[in-house]
Amino acid sequence: FLLFVEFVTVSFLLGYLSSNTIVLFPQAEIDAAVQLLLKLKVDYKQMTGQDYKAGCPPSENLIVSNNGPAADDCDGEDLVDPWNVSASSTKGVDYDKLIVRFGSSKIDKELLERIEKVSGQRAHHFLRRGIFFSHRDMHQILDAYEKHKSFYLYTGRGPSSEAMHVGHLIPFIFTKWLQDVFDIPLVVQMTDDEKYLWKDLTLEECHRFTVENAKDIIACGFDVNKTFIFSDLDYMGASPQFYRNVVKVQKHVTFNQVKGIFGFTDSDCIGKISFPAIQAAPSFSSSFPQIFGGKKDVPCLIPCAIDQDPYFRMTRDVAPRIGLLKPALLHSTFFPALQGAQTKMSASDPNSSIFLTDTPKQIKNKINKHAFSGGKDTVEEHRKYGGNTEVDVSFLYLTFFLEDDEKLEKIKEDYTSGALLTGELKKILIETLQPMIAQHQERRKQVTDEMVQQFMTPRPLNYKF
């Protein structure tokens, strides 16, 4: 009710100001009314988490919608930004709606076929199964590549803790595939500065997490001669060209724009407000003179989860104004928490995901105890009605990690018909993840400090064209 009163008051004041100011009121009264209006807007934002918008009463689920063009819609939508993701439905985020809202393009059959034709490889199962589902300008990247013009990959990781979970591997598994099939260089940005600004961590901790996470990234099998991993805290100071691009972006984005894109408020520290320029800079090849010899026109392709898109909408908006190329993007869906596609994985809740450090026994227990089931309550009912693979987390995880299409299809059929029980489905997932995680741990053990040092040293890389 309070919210509603607030909303009505703000609406009234706005109408009052816009229709009456010039003619009827002395300056002092107008100033007082403006002050009151601004204060009400701030209160409104604090109470609802939303910016006040004329004509849009607060939605019940109080979602901040700062997601681009269609954010003016009033209906309660999925919340997707770089810091929060929450879906309004148990099936998770509505990705088709998100494509429309963000103004990106769907990865359709035609694009899949082109990727296969140009790379000469069968598309990765993340592409075939719609895990990477949306893109910006991927056709342009392929056009250039067909004309023997190379591109490079840029992806990143926010090192907020030592523990990475299986979901964190998704962009890296996919990026490694792209690097292998196209034979191109990769830069990996470790945003330790961002984690310092956003979390209650010291600089030393953030930098240490960068090194620890880099080991997990290296364990994904990246080619050291084609991959540069960098810590913002180190590289910002070491590379004059990188910092020059940061400053160019900073000059061309206003406080109002980042407030609109990211939902920053007046009480956010100034480090947060300028950070988006630092995540933008690796999209430009001139930020890496040691790799590209000062070339400004090597196109960049960014594989990332779609929550990172706001950064790159901003980057693509700025790029032509500073004489640089817009980066292309491939967007992935989110990796669901064990408790279901609607909830978020959290590093502070070990039960919400499978971590790369989990033992076979922990993996088994977590899946058996916590993986949300789309099955029926009793065996009799399950046999009769079958299970729902759309919400079953074990099945969803298998779409990420079970490469065999036929086997996956058979599991889907059997689970839907009721022939396969939840316990049996969970067993298949456990037997898929246990060896996968064990192999990762084995490869990570082989990663020495010298190797990390090598990957993180600015140097020339090998690439095809």
Is residue 71 at the binding interface for ligand NAG, with CB under 6 A as the rule? Answer: no
Name the residue nearer to ligand NAG (CB basis): 195 or 313.
Answer: 195
Name the residue nearer to ligand NAG (CB basis): 145 or 262.
Answer: 262
Beta partners for 329? 136, 302
Name the residue nearer to ligand NAG (CB basis): 127 or 201.
Answer: 201
Is residue 424 at the binding interface for ligand NAG, with CB under 6 A as the rule? Answer: no
Beta partners for 300? 152
Is residue 84 at the binding interface for ligand NAG, with CB under 6 A as the rule? Answer: yes
DSSP state of 58: P
Angle at 45 between CA 85 and CA 8, to 5 degrees: 125
Closest distance of CB 402 from ligand NAG, Å = 25
Is residue 12 at the binding interface for ligand NAG, with CB under 6 A as the rule? Answer: no
Is residue 83 at the binding interface for ligand NAG, with CB under 6 A as the rule? Answer: yes
Name the residue nearer to ligand NAG (CB basis): 262 or 284.
Answer: 262
Is residue 225 at the binding interface for ligand NAG, with CB under 6 A as the rule? Answer: yes
* Whole-angstrom distance, CA of residue 165 vs CA of residue 157: 12
* Whole-angstrom distance, CA of residue 160 vs CA of residue 180: 28
Q: Which stretch binds ligand NAG (CB under 6 A): 13-21, 29-37, 217-225, 240-248?
A: 217-225
Q: Which residue type sits at 354?
A: I
Per-position DSSP letters for 105-128, written without gaps between them: EE--HHHHHHHHHHH-SPPPHHHH
* Whole-angstrom distance, CA of residue 312 vs CA of residue 300: 11
Least Cα distance to 429 among 345, 338, 348 occurs for 338
Name the residue nearer to ligand NAG (CB basis): 58 or 386.
Answer: 58
63's tokens: 């979602």
Within 333-352, the residues that bind ligand NAG by CB under 6 A are 349, 351
What is the rounded end-to-end Cα distance, in angstroms, of the chain?
63
Q: Which of 128, 296, 369, 383 binds ligand NAG (CB under 6 A)?
A: 369
Residue with tokens 């494509």, as numbered in its chain: 99
Phi, psi of 403 (to 5 degrees): -80, -25
Phi, psi of 398 (to 5 degrees): -65, -30
Q: Which stretch binds ligand NAG (CB under 6 A): 10-18, 152-160, 219-227, 401-409?
A: 219-227
Closest distance of CB 123 from ligand NAG, Å = 25
* Whole-angstrom distance, CA of residue 28 vs CA of residue 66: 34
Residue with tokens 């984005």, as numbered in its chain: 253
Closest distance of CB 224 from ligand NAG, Å = 5
Name the residue nearer to ligand NAG (CB basis): 83 or 255.
Answer: 83
Q: Which of 224, 347, 436, 451 binds ligand NAG (CB under 6 A)?
A: 224
Cβ atoms of 400 and 165 closer than 8 Å: no
Name the residue nearer to ligand NAG (CB basis): 131 or 461.
Answer: 461
Name the residue nearer to ligand NAG (CB basis): 179 or 287.
Answer: 179
Q: Which of 116, 223, 268, 414 binds ligand NAG (CB under 6 A)?
A: 223
Closest distance of CB 349 from ligand NAG, Å = 5
Beta partners for 330? 135, 303
DSSP state of 219: T
Beta strands in 269-402 (DSSP E): 300-305, 328-332
Is residue 457 at the binding interface for ligand NAG, with CB under 6 A as the rule? Answer: no
Closest distance of CB 261 from ligand NAG, Å = 14
Closest distance of CB 369 from ligand NAG, Å = 5
Binding footprint of ligand NAG on the chain (CB under 6 A): 49, 64, 83-84, 223-225, 349, 351, 369
